[in-house]
Amino acid sequence: MNKKRANAILFQGDLNKKPYFEGWYYKQVSNNGKQIISLIPGISLSEVDSHSFVQYIMTMQGEDGKKKTETGYISYPLSAFDYQEEPFQLKIGPNIFTQSKVKVDLKNEQLTLNGTVEFGKFTPIKQTALTPNIMGFFSYFPLMQCSHGIVSMNHSLTGSFTVNEEKFDFSAGKGYIERDWGISFPREYVWIQSNHFENNGTSLFFSEAHIPFMKTAFQGFICNLVVDNKEHRFATYHRDKCEIEKIDEQHVAIILENKTAKLRIKAEITNPGELIAPTLSGMQKVIKEELGGAVKIDLYLKEEKTHYKDETTSAGIEIVDHTED
């Protein structure tokens, strides 16, 4: 099994091909779910503007119960990108990202964000030779527009960040790490993620996208749901079913089905922020992401004839439609 292909946290590309992007997505959720910070370090290689960056999105819930979302994009020269494979370490300027912690010192006109958060044991996804990562056998095709990787569905946190002199304590909170790399994000896609459900051990990842492939295109999907240490995978490469029942800018309802289970997901965006996403010309597309979104899941296990239901208001959600281009 290819080392990089099977270990999603590693740098998958190189600094010589253009256009190309690569990003890491580190999400931290406080124990009560009221403070969420996602950090997105990465590189963008294009003919016009090659650089490294750290992007952030944070959602905070005040004492009045209202949530506010803040985002920012801090650009660094490409020379500020420093990568080490063993042990894995990514440095962009003064910011350090590893398999055991993040240590950041970010400044722009809106905020200063610094501190260290350390990680507990990762919850990786199941892997085989045929499905070395969440992309399944599609991971063996080198010309995918955008490849995806999941590093950890769930892990514990200790430590804190300070945002404009306010301490965000993530001790006893939850972390999640995923990856993207390629030449561009899909023109339309849905992304949903949460590991902060009422059941402490539940974690969900779902993505559905328009995927150019050779001279054609198709709607592809992948979903990984972990409940009570058992993984339920729904995917195009397993020939499973995915039906988008309803979709608009703020809502999506999905039905997934495989041989053993049926899963309904309902997601609602309530307070999104703007992030910058990769295109063929560089980091130029504005998308909206929610960190404190509402998600309900209903898992029906066919053989056991049991329903498992859960919900969260600490979900990451993106609903990006090509009509916005």
How sure is the predictor about 321, in pLDDT bands with cuts at 50, 70 and 90?
confident
Mean pLDDT of the chain: 92
Separation in Å, CA 79 to CA 43, 49, 72, 76 = 11, 13, 21, 8
Does the pLDDT value for residue 29 go beyond 80? yes
Domain of residue 302 covers 20-324
Nearest in space to 219 (alpha carbons), one of 227, 229, 209, 228: 209
**What whole-number distance in Å separates Cα of residue 221 and Cα of residue 235?**
6
Which residue carries 């964000």 as its tokens?
A: 113
Give a yes or no: residue 14 inside a domain: no
The confidence score (pLDDT) of residue 90 equals 98
Please report, as a single letter, which amino acid is at residue 128: T
The confidence score (pLDDT) of residue 46 equals 94
Stated pTM of the model = 0.94
The b-or-e profile of 259-282 (16+ CB within 10 A means b, else e) is eebbbbbbbbbeebbebbbbbeeb
Does the pLDDT value for residue 323 go beyond 60? no
How sure is the predictor about 276, in pLDDT bands with cuts at 50, 70 and 90?
very high
Does the pLDDT value for residue 1 go beyond 60? no
Give a yes or no: residue 213 inside a domain: yes
Radius of gyration of the chain from its Cα atoms, rounded to whole angstroms:
19
Give a yes or no: residue 13 inside a domain: no
Give a yes or no: residue 15 inside a domain: no
pLDDT digits (tens, 9 = 90+) for 115-153: 999 999 999 877 666 665 676 556 656 667 888 889 999
How sure is the predictor about 322, in pLDDT bands with cuts at 50, 70 and 90?
very low
The confidence score (pLDDT) of residue 132 equals 58
Give a yes or no: residue 320 inside a domain: yes
Which residue carries 């059941």 as its tokens?
A: 199
Judge residue 170's burial from the number of C-beta atoms within 10 Å of its C-beta, 0-12 exposed, 13-18 middle, 19 or more buried.
Answer: buried
Does the pLDDT value for residue 215 go beyond 80? no
Q: How many domains is the chain partitioned into structurally?
A: 1
How many Cβ atoms are within 10 Å of 207's Cβ, its own excluded? 23
Task: Decide if 195 contacts 202 (C-beta within 8 A).
Answer: yes
The confidence score (pLDDT) of residue 135 equals 67
pLDDT digits (tens, 9 = 90+) for 70-115: 999 999 999 999 999 999 999 999 999 999 999 999 999 999 999 9
Work out the average pLDDT over 292-311.
97
The confidence score (pLDDT) of residue 217 equals 80
Work out the average pLDDT over 29-51.
96
Give a yes or no: residue 309 inside a domain: yes
**What whole-number distance in Å separates Cα of residue 318 and Cα of residue 157?**
24
Proportion of the chain above pLDDT 90, given as a percent:
80
pLDDT digits (tens, 9 = 90+) for 155-193: 999 999 999 999 999 999 999 999 999 999 988 999 999
Give a yes or no: residue 39 inside a domain: yes
Give a yes or no: residue 229 inside a domain: yes
How sure is the predictor about 65, in pLDDT bands with cuts at 50, 70 and 90?
confident
- Backbone φ and ψ for 305, nearest 5 degrees, come out as 55, 45
